[in-house]
Amino acid sequence: MTTYDGITALVTGASKGIGACYARQLAARGANLVLVARSESALEELASQLRSAHNVQVDVIAADLFDRDAPRTVVDALTERGIEVDLLINNAGLSAVGPFLTRPLQPNIDSVDLNITTLMGLVHIIGARMLERNRGGIINVSSVAGFQPMPFQASYGATKAFVLSFTEALAEELRGTRLRVMAVHPGPVDTGFFDGTTAKLNPKAVTPERIAAKSLLDFERGRTASFPGGLNDRANALASRFLTRKRVVRISASFNRKSGLDAVSDVNSPASDKAR
Ligand SMILES: NC(=O)c1ccc[n+]([C@@H]2O[C@H](COP(=O)([O-])OP(=O)(O)OC[C@H]3O[C@@H](n4cnc5c(N)ncnc54)[C@H](OP(=O)(O)O)[C@@H]3O)[C@@H](O)[C@H]2O)c1
């Protein structure tokens, strides 16, 4: 795949943030889209904007990707509509934040289900169809958080380490085929990722438009890894190779303390969160 014009791309987490930017930029380049997230009205609104602005087909599949059966449900909906996916963008993701032992367990489990289990399930089913056709692309949105342990986002860093390792291994397994796989490693991005908590946005956060644009360009260039936030993110990620693990984990803890993640609390519904 060397161009996005005329392909069909499925984007998870397309209702807002980086996923909505992927959808807008792909539509502008002539890609037909399948938008997936829970917020059906946000997806329908985006779909209708994209249909009127561009000559593309946009489908919406409202699905809760925490659900173990979600990959099968999504693929059944695709089959029912006769849609074959050329590019899968596994973008939906979430992070539990705060000290692991004093915060609710459920968001950690949800993040494993979403960031790992569903991602892997979608890759397995949709990737197998691509392999049969010997054509297609998969972009897994990981994070610089995957390159080292992340105190106060302990399970999140671990899920993204999974995505990093899984994607690199898969890219190598598929070398020599016409199916390409790339992992995207953003640093801080200005989205609603920490909404509902007191966590502060990193002042160096870049726009989600930049993440989508640069990573799509990297994919066109045939890369298997993309650092769309810039050189700083790449350098931070690579530093873990040259420092001791003890030093690296101290640095990442201090980074997350600066964002208030060591003393984070919920701002919208603390009572319901505690109940989980
Ligand atoms: N923002 C950052 O600083 C940053 C940095 C590095 C990596 N990333 C990664 O970038 C990706 C996108 O993050 P973002 O910042 O754009 O986050 P965001 O603004 O919070 O958007 C997350 C998206 O995931 C969807 N989602 C969450 N739970 C879902 C579920 N159970 N089922 C279906 N969809 C679900 C949300 O849609 P609904 O709520 O409508 O379901 C939304 O569309 C994630 O993988 C994240 O880990 C973000």
pLDDT of residue 138: 98
Residue pointed to by tokens 């890369």: 223
Distance 24 CA to ligand 1 centre (A): 16
Query: Is the Cβ–Cβ distance between 55 and 32 less than 8 Å?
Result: no
Q: Kindly give the number of the ligand 1 atom that is closest to the alpha carbon of 211.
A: 10
Is there a domain that residue 34 lies in?
Answer: yes
Q: Kindly give the number of the ligand 1 atom that is closest to the alpha carbon of 39.
A: 40
Distance 188 CA to ligand 1 centre (A): 13
- Rg of the chain, C-alpha, whole Å: 18
Q: Across the strands, what pairs with 140? A: 90, 183
Q: Which of 91, 120, 162, 194 most suits a substitution to test ligand 1, by most atoms within 8 Å of the C-beta?
A: 91
Q: In what order do the strands lie in the sheet with 136-141?
A: 58-62, 32-37, 8-12, 87-90, 136-141, 179-184, 225-226
Q: What is the CATH number of the domain that holds 12?
A: 3.40.50.720
Is there a domain that residue 2 lies in?
Answer: no
Residue pointed to by tokens 């002539």: 30
Q: Kindly give the number of the ligand 1 atom that is closest to the alpha carbon of 15.
A: 43
Q: Which of 12, 35, 46, 94 most suits a substitution to test ligand 1, by most atoms within 8 Å of the C-beta?
A: 94
Distance 203 CA to ligand 1 centre (A): 19
Is there a domain that residue 153 lies in?
Answer: yes
Distance 90 CA to ligand 1 centre (A): 10
Is there a domain that residue 3 lies in?
Answer: no
The residue type found at 83 is I
pLDDT of residue 118: 98
For the chain of 276 residues, list the mean pLDDT of each consecutive stretch of 10: 91 98 98 98 98 98 98 98 98 98 98 98 98 98 98 98 98 97 97 93 94 98 97 92 95 94 83 39
Q: How far is CA 98 from CA 45, 52, 66, 107, 261, in A?
A: 33, 42, 21, 11, 5
Is there a domain that residue 60 lies in?
Answer: yes
pLDDT of residue 201: 86
Helix, strand, or coil here: 226? Answer: strand
**Catalytic annotation on 156?**
yes
Long-range CB pairs of 171-174 (<8 Å, 24+ gap) are 171/224, 174/131
Nearest CA to 87 out of 147, 40, 41, 22 is that of 22
pLDDT of residue 191: 97
- In the chain, the number of structural domains is 1
Catalytic site residue from 156, 193, 219, 255 = 156
Is there a domain that residue 113 lies in?
Answer: yes
* Angle in degrees, 0-180, between the axes of helices 245-258 and 231-242, rounded to the nearest 10: 140
Is there a domain that residue 194 lies in?
Answer: yes
Tokens of 60: 């919406």
pLDDT of residue 273: 42
Q: How far is CA 209 from CA 6, 82, 181, 215, 242, in A?
A: 21, 30, 21, 10, 31
Distance 94 CA to ligand 1 centre (A): 5
Is there a domain that residue 1 lies in?
Answer: no
Pocket of ligand 1 (CB under 6 A): 13-19, 37-39, 64-66, 91-94, 114, 141, 143, 186, 188-189, 191-193, 208
CA angle 68, 15, 126 (to 5 degrees): 45
Which residue range forms the structural domain that includes residue 59?
Answer: 8-274
Query: Is the Cβ–Cβ distance between 31 and 5 less than 8 Å?
Result: yes
Q: How far is CA 105 from CA 96, 125, 151, 181, in A?
A: 9, 29, 15, 32
The distance in angstroms from the start CA to the end CA of the chain is 44
Distance CA 234, CA 230 (A): 7
The residue type found at 29 is R
pLDDT of residue 200: 86
pLDDT of residue 270: 44
Cβ neighbourhood burial of 67 (10 Å; 0-12, 13-18, 19+):
middle
